[in-house]
Chains A and B, each alone.
Chain A
Amino acid sequence: MFYFDHNATTPVSAEVLEAMLPVMTEVYGNASSIHHFGQAARQKLDDARRQVAALLGATPEEIVFTSGGTEADNLAVIGTLGFKAGHAITTTIEHPAVLASCAQLESVTRVEVDSRGLVDPEDIRRALRPDTKIVSVMHANNELGVIQPLKEIAAIAREAGAVMHSDGVQAAGKIPLNLADLGVDLYSIAGHKFYAPKGVGALFVRKGTKLAAMMHGGHHERDRRAGTENVSGAVGLGRAAQWMIDQGPAEWSRLAALRDRLENAVLDRIPGAHVNGAGAPRTPNTSNIRFDGIDSEPLLIALDLRGFAVSSGSACSSGAQEPSHVLTAIGLTKEQAKSSIRFSLGRSNDAAQLDALVEAVVDSVAHLRKLAPAYV
């Protein structure tokens, strides 16, 4: 079985697990306790906070640990507006964690993207209103890997006096980051997208940014997120961040080469195949490919039964697939959106696996097209 769904989640890496295990069994103190046990845990937590800050180009006091990307997105949007009156600007291709959080606000503008999945910063400017309190634009898209012109967007938002949030869940660990340079106020990340465990993430909160807590019941995380700190999770997130600081650039070049190998082979060997989001800057590991006349649902299942794990669209509560709101937002028809498969690569993948994947995709697409002779 080969895994090509790293944008969904990644395995915990060996070095992350190694860093976490002693925290669960030996350094088990409550990081808020005064005694030595607490102090030892506090040191682990602070070390982790420094590592995460270093990955993001931030300072440690700007890092709030959360239970993951969804909590970070909710905290950013709802914590900024605090359920009070105000206007928010976001885009049509955001993760549901942002879209659903924004939907709770009084007034929301969803800015559209172009056929490559890119937001035009000028559209953000045009959407501004005197009461705009927050602009939330994802850094890299989960389905397409498309990277937004975040620096330009942030400059426009901040010039207008709005808080700039970005969902960086699919960017952290995939591209170089310097949040000070990007000029965002809030930035969400999730550990399990880059080899830390599920259940830990962080929200970057730029110094001086006002944010109301959503979780109440203690002074943890500088009063921004109550609850006993998940020290082992934070240590895992910190170690994963450190690995990306040390090895990320080399790994990203390797993944980009594999991604290009995949796309070139698929486009070369399968007629009627198209890369969604082509022409935009993209994360190095993500490839979203559309196959004319193919329903992605049987294709995904057929590939899985042959030992290749890929994904398509999003799943509803039963586990059935639904057409992707991201793909329809870039102008694809519902049929085209349902003909698309996402391949997202990661540390375990190599050239031999990619070549085997290409063979399986070529076979499966040919089989499905034979069954649906309407395709020519």
Chain B
Amino acid sequence: MSEVIAVAMSGGVDSSVVAGMLHRQGARVIGLTMQLWNQRRLPELATDKPTGRCCSLDDVYDARHVAQHLGIPYYVVNFEDRFEQQVVKPFVDEYLAGRTPIPCTLCNNFIKFDQFLDMADGVGAHRIATGHYAQIAWNSDSGRWEMRRSVDRAKDQTYFLFGLTQPQLARTLFPLGGFEKPQVRELARELAIPTAAKPDSQEICFVPNGDYAAFIDAYFREQGISPKETAGELVTTEGRVVGEHSGVHHFTVGQRRGLGVAAGEPLYVIATEPETRRVVIGRNDALLRATMRVKDVNWISIAPPAAPIRAEIKIRNKHAAAPATITPVDATHVEVRFDEPQRAVTPGQGAVFYSGELVLGGGWIE
């Protein structure tokens, strides 16, 4: 019997091509779409834009259409409870705690490579496949599964995949990791994928228009929490009160726009302090930091190091990886010292360690 592969189908071009490629290669493919968020909630955020809507009915119709076209079994599975507990609530809590979370990484860690893998097991699939841009390979010398950046550098998603464990990597396929995006579009046309011309999705999937502050406000209202509880003062790095703001979750470290304060030189958010509900603003050079502590570190391509190692580190998805020295503190913490101070080291974001193309591991900035 050929291998049974469960493909996570979002209705987009990438995962559709994955299903089509594996099907053409002779695998027994099962299409599964994860229902993660109920769009009937928070109706005030409704949008007509085609992107920025997670699990919209249109996406499900698209995924089902592709499955029908390929002639593969297809099901929608309901992960709404888990998604709210493991992704949406932590996302909101992190903002309230003055950090800037990455829900996509939480979703990968707790939903796509955990609950989805369980579901695939349950329905009798041997492996899972997704449309992520990353590469997985077995290294027989080290006895580990390694992760590398995707061939298409602009699409590379390894920054969001640093939480994957060896057992998860062993059962996961990223068939697009070796392709450039235009090749994937070409494959979509070749496979006659009905959604071949669909635009790429953008932003955080459950937050319409990328307006996370509006999402958090709407979620507060739904949960019966008054948004005013997070309003407070704007203060300078010298401690001078220069204004008021409508909530700490409207601000992220490094932000320049929307401060509402006139000054002779550009001002940026340096820190948010949820305990005092204060937002600290200051000059650009106050954002530079040479060191940071990283928690919940997961090592992927190498075993946990016992001594300091050199790596290039990304502190945001769009950050150009910067050279640094990583010093292990304990089993899950490391200290990082960058060769050059980095701008806007933001608590709550991921720090992902690279050695060239190889993803060594990563963790969360404290």
Q: Is the Cβ of B78 less than 8 Å from the Cβ of A298?
A: no
8 Å CB interface, B272-296 against A: none
Q: Is the Cβ of A302 less than 8 Å from the Cβ of B35?
A: no
Nearest B residue to A315 via CB reads B76
Taking CB atoms, residues of chain A closer than 8 Å to B64 are 319
Nearest B residue to A301 via CB reads B123
Query: How far does the Cβ of B73 sit from chain A's closest Cβ, in whole Å?
Result: 6
Query: How far does the Cβ of B284 sit from chain A's closest Cβ, in whole Å?
Result: 46
- Give the contact stretch, choosing among B114-122, B147-155, B332-340: B114-122
Instruction: Kindly name the residue among A295, A298, A316, A320 whose own CB sees the greatest number of chain B CB atoms within 10 A.
Output: A320
Q: Is the Cβ of A298 less than 8 Å from the Cβ of B122?
A: yes
Known: A299-B122, A319-B60, A368-B122. A304 touches B78 (CB 8 A): no
Taking CB atoms, residues of chain A closer than 8 Å to B76 are 318-320
8 Å CB interface, A281-318 against B: 295, 297-299, 301-302, 304-305, 316-318
Q: Is the Cβ of B124 less than 8 Å from the Cβ of A305?
A: yes
Asked if A324 CB lies within 8 Å of chain B CBs, one says: no
8 Å CB interface, B23-47 against A: 30, 33, 35, 38
Main secondary structure of the interface of A (DSSP, over half): helix
Q: Is the Cβ of B123 less than 8 Å from the Cβ of A305?
A: yes
Cα separation A317 to B78 with both chains bound (whole Å): 12
8 Å CB interface, B16-74 against A: 30, 33, 35, 38, 55, 57, 60, 64, 73
Instruction: Kindly name the residue among B33, B60, B80, B123 whose own CB sees the greatest number of chain A CB atoms within 10 A.
Output: B123
Q: Is the Cβ of A318 less than 8 Å from the Cβ of B35?
A: yes
Taking CB atoms, residues of chain B closer than 8 Å to A301 are 30, 75, 77, 122-123
Q: Is the Cβ of B124 less than 8 Å from the Cβ of A320?
A: no
Q: Is the Cβ of A320 less than 8 Å from the Cβ of B73?
A: no
Taking CB atoms, residues of chain A closer than 8 Å to B73 are 304-305
Q: Is the Cβ of B123 less than 8 Å from the Cβ of A298?
A: yes
Categorize the interface residue count of chain A.
10 to 19
Taking CB atoms, residues of chain B closer than 8 Å to A318 are 33, 35, 55, 57, 60, 76
Cα separation A298 to B124 with both chains bound (whole Å): 9
Query: How far does the Cβ of A353 sit from chain B's closest Cβ, in whole Å?
Result: 21
Cα separation A320 to B77 with both chains bound (whole Å): 5
Taking CB atoms, residues of chain A closer than 8 Å to B121 are 298, 371
Q: Is the Cβ of A302 less than 8 Å from the Cβ of B55?
A: no
Q: Is the Cβ of B123 less than 8 Å from the Cβ of A322?
A: no
Nearest B residue to A363 via CB reads B124
In the complex, number of A-B residue pairs with CB atoms less than 8 Å apart: 53
Q: Pick the residue among B30, B57, B80, B118 that contacts A317 (CB under 8 A).
A: B57
Taking CB atoms, residues of chain A closer than 8 Å to B57 are 317-318
Q: Is the Cβ of A297 less than 8 Å from the Cβ of B78?
A: yes
Cα separation A295 to B119 with both chains bound (whole Å): 9
Cα separation A298 to B73 with both chains bound (whole Å): 13
Cα separation A182 to B68 with both chains bound (whole Å): 47
Q: Is the Cβ of B77 less than 8 Å from the Cβ of A297?
A: yes
Q: Is the Cβ of A321 less than 8 Å from the Cβ of B124?
A: no
Asked if A367 CB lies within 8 Å of chain B CBs, one says: yes
Q: Is the Cβ of B123 less than 8 Å from the Cβ of A302?
A: yes
Known: A297-B77, A305-B73. A371 touches B118 (CB 8 A): yes
Taking CB atoms, residues of chain B closer than 8 Å to A304 are 73, 75
Taking CB atoms, residues of chain A closer than 8 Å to B30 are 301, 305
Taking CB atoms, residues of chain A closer than 8 Å to B118 are 298, 371
Taking CB atoms, residues of chain B closer than 8 Å to A367 are 122, 124
Taking CB atoms, residues of chain B closer than 8 Å to A319 are 60, 64, 75-76
Q: Is the Cβ of A295 less than 8 Å from the Cβ of B124?
A: no
Taking CB atoms, residues of chain B closer than 8 Å to A316 are 35, 38, 78
Cα separation A302 to B125 with both chains bound (whole Å): 9
Q: Is the Cβ of B122 less than 8 Å from the Cβ of A302?
A: yes
Query: How far does the Cβ of B43 sit from chain A's closest Cβ, in whole Å?
Result: 14
Taking CB atoms, residues of chain B closer than 8 Å to A317 are 57
Taking CB atoms, residues of chain A closer than 8 Å to B75 are 301, 304, 319
Cα separation A302 to B120 with both chains bound (whole Å): 10
Taking CB atoms, residues of chain A closer than 8 Å to B119 are 297-298
Query: How far does the Cβ of B120 sit from chain A's closest Cβ, in whole Å?
Result: 9
Instruction: Kindly name the residue among B60, B75, B122, B124 whose own CB sees the greatest number of chain A CB atoms within 10 A.
Output: B122
Taking CB atoms, residues of chain A closer than 8 Å to B55 are 318
Query: How far does the Cβ of B82 sit from chain A's closest Cβ, in whole Å?
Result: 11
Taking CB atoms, residues of chain A closer than 8 Å to B122 are 295, 297-299, 301-302, 367-368, 371
Cα separation A320 to B57 with both chains bound (whole Å): 11
Query: How far does the Cβ of A92 sit from chain B's closest Cβ, in whole Å?
Result: 21
Nearest B residue to A322 via CB reads B78
Instruction: Kindly name the residue among B60, B73, B78, B80 whose own CB sees the greatest number of chain A CB atoms within 10 A.
Output: B78
Cα separation A316 to B76 with both chains bound (whole Å): 10
Q: Pick the residue among A297, A302, A322 that contacts B124 (CB under 8 A).
A: A302
Q: Is the Cβ of B123 less than 8 Å from the Cβ of A321?
A: no
Nearest A residue to B38 via CB reads A316
Taking CB atoms, residues of chain B closer than 8 Å to A368 are 122
Cα separation A319 to B57 with both chains bound (whole Å): 9
Cα separation A302 to B30 with both chains bound (whole Å): 11
Query: How far does the Cβ of B53 sit from chain A's closest Cβ, in whole Å?
Result: 12
Query: How far does the Cβ of B354 sit from chain A's closest Cβ, in whole Å?
Result: 34
Cα separation A361 to B189 with both chains bound (whole Å): 41
Query: How far does the Cβ of B205 sit from chain A's closest Cβ, in whole Å?
Result: 14
Cα separation A286 to B234 with both chains bound (whole Å): 65
5 pairs of A and B residues whose beta carbons are closest in the complex: A298-B122, A320-B35, A320-B78, A319-B76, A320-B76
Residues of A in contact with B (beta carbons under 8 Å apart): 295, 297-299, 301-302, 304-305, 316-322, 367-368, 371
A-B contact pairs, 10 of them (CB 8 A): A295-B122, A297-B119, A298-B118, A302-B124, A318-B33, A318-B57, A320-B35, A320-B80, A367-B124, A371-B122
List 17 extra interface pairs beyond A297-B122, A320-B77, CB under 8 A: A295-B122, A297-B119, A298-B122, A298-B123, A301-B30, A301-B77, A301-B122, A302-B123, A304-B73, A305-B123, A317-B57, A318-B33, A318-B60, A319-B60, A321-B77, A371-B118, A371-B121
